[in-house]
Structure 1
């Protein structure tokens, strides 16, 4: 059998094509997983941010007397909820 026979070239070409297809399939699966993972994490982050924003509403009354030692001064900037 010679070094450059057509049978050895076909076997090598077939193995190379199969290897390339496997690598492409793995890369595609990895990219899809990363997209899915990012969307899931983004959704979870947004939902937790909304819950945290709802929980940060001020407890002190906006009008009337408060327990603040400064008397009738206007409420500080920190007591207004951020939107």
Structure 2
């Protein structure tokens, strides 16, 4: 900001810069905290899913390829339809 006599208000500029740095620091800390929190939640969800699937009495030890070949080419136990070979055009 320039005054009418041509002097720059250094105090106002320095105050603005300090406030902007504080805001940027706060945003950076918030982003890091969010990423850490969401990572912990994701790991906890993953661990609970793997523990529940491992302790499932209906859990099969066969590989997905074996299960698919047993069920048919589509993997559907009810309909043993073949997979489509061409895509239909959109209307």
Tell me the TM-score normalized by structure 1: 0.61
Output the aligned Cα RMSD: 1.9
Superposed structure 1 runs of 4+ greater than 4 Å apart:
none
Q: Please name the residue that 1:25 is paired with.
A: 26
Structure with greater helix share of residues: 1
Residue 15 (structure 1) aligned with residue 23 (structure 2): no
Measure the CA separation in 1 of the matches of 2:37 and 2:13: 36
Measure the CA separation in 2 of the matches of 1:39 and 1:24: 23
Residues 9-50 of structure 1: CA deviation (Å, up to 9, x unaligned):
000000000001000000000000100000011001000000
* Alignment size in residue pairs: 58
Greater relative contact order (Cα < 8 A, sep 6+): 1
Tell me the TM-score normalized by structure 2: 0.56
Measure the CA separation in 2 of the matches of 1:9 and 1:3: 12
